[in-house]
Amino acid sequence: MNQQITPESTGVEKKLRILSGIQPSGTPTLGNYIGAMRNWKLLADEYDCLYMIADLHSITVRQDPSKLRQQSIQLFALLLAIGLDPEKNVLFFQSHVPQHTQLSWVLNCFTYMGEMSRMTQFKDKSAKHSDNINCGLFTYPVLMASDILLYQANLVPVGADQTQHLEICRDIATRFNGIYGNVFTVPEGYYPKFGARVMSLQDPARKMSKSDPDDCFISMLDSADNIRRKIKRAVTDSDAEIRFDPENKPGVSNLLAIQSALTGDSLDSVVSSYEGKGYGVLKSTLTDVIINTLSPIQNEFNRYMNDRAYLENVWRNGADHASYLANKTLSKVMKKVGFIAK
């Protein structure tokens, strides 16, 4: 095990800590990249960042074991491919750090059934997977709280669908602190300065999701031919004017927003570039922008996937570093609760 580099050992001023996780339930979409992932590498200079593959969370839904392993490795390689430097960020698999589940059990005992039953994602997932309404599905917000509190995270990137989980995490931390003293950092939500909500290519009223039919989203590993096909088939409307009007022209507005997000050009600038032009030009230009964005990431991804020894070294070092941080919190919790130190 490599020697851990910590603020205490270097004398460096302590940065605020950010924790974020992503489930290996499939390849991230272009929406995941624009909305979250591309911003992660920009945070390392300002924050102490931990990024985990949330594989424990993924099994609330039945998974094919071999597929889950492959998707987990691919996702880890993709984190490196987007530019996350393992020297600046802690990258690890959640299942490699058993303190997550240890703390989760303790926090389950400080969380009420009524709180869990109000979680909207439990209701949504129960409706989608009515044949597998398991206890993990019910209590996984407590595991999520454990993920955050274990590392004393100050900030947690959250979308609209995760706000409720952050609030229950804050409630659990406050309750525990009220009983045992100042044990946990009570986290705040982190809202990135740059980002855009990317909608489905076929139903622009809904967020782009990898669980939707294939033509509805662009995967970060889609081939150039697939990207061309999907953008060509993307929903527009019968009005040929290109303008940003989410209410009346949601499909066209979604395509314009994607281009703006990927190029960094303002929406006004993007719209003006299409003055007098048709949807064919819009789709062709956007296709090139997406391919040019994803192609270098895919090249890096393939390079990492062909170097399994390097990947294993990075995730082992990440697990060691994460475990070091996790142990400090868990030891304090176990002592506060009244367990005997070994």
- Please list the active-site residues: 125, 207, 210
Which residue type sits at 66? Answer: S
What sign has the CA pseudo-torsion 198, 203, 207, 211? Answer: negative
- Which run of H or of E encompasses 87? none
Q: Alpha-carbon distance 214 to 194, whole Å?
A: 27
Residue 36: both structure tokens together: 């979250």
Please, what is the end-to-end C-alpha distance for the chain in angstroms? 22
> Helix, strand, or coil here: 155?
strand
Q: What single-letter DSSP state applies at residue 184?
A: S
List, in sequence order, every residue forming a beta bridge with 50; answer none if it has no partner.
Answer: 19, 90
- Which run of H or of E encompasses 21? strand 17-22
Q: Alpha-carbon distance 264 to 145, whole Å?
A: 34
Taking CA 55 as the corner, what is the angle to CA 146 and CA 210, rounded to the nearest 5 degrees?
A: 115
> Helix, strand, or coil here: 266?
coil
**Angle between the 120-128 and 163-180 helix axes, to the nearest 10 degrees?**
130
Q: How far is CA 78 from CA 25, 131, 220, 284, 332, in A?
A: 14, 32, 9, 26, 35
Residue 179: both structure tokens together: 């009983």
Q: What single-letter DSSP state applies at residue 202?
A: S
Q: Alpha-carbon distance 292 to 303, whole Å?
A: 18
Look at the block and give the residue holding tokens 């990898």. Answer: 210
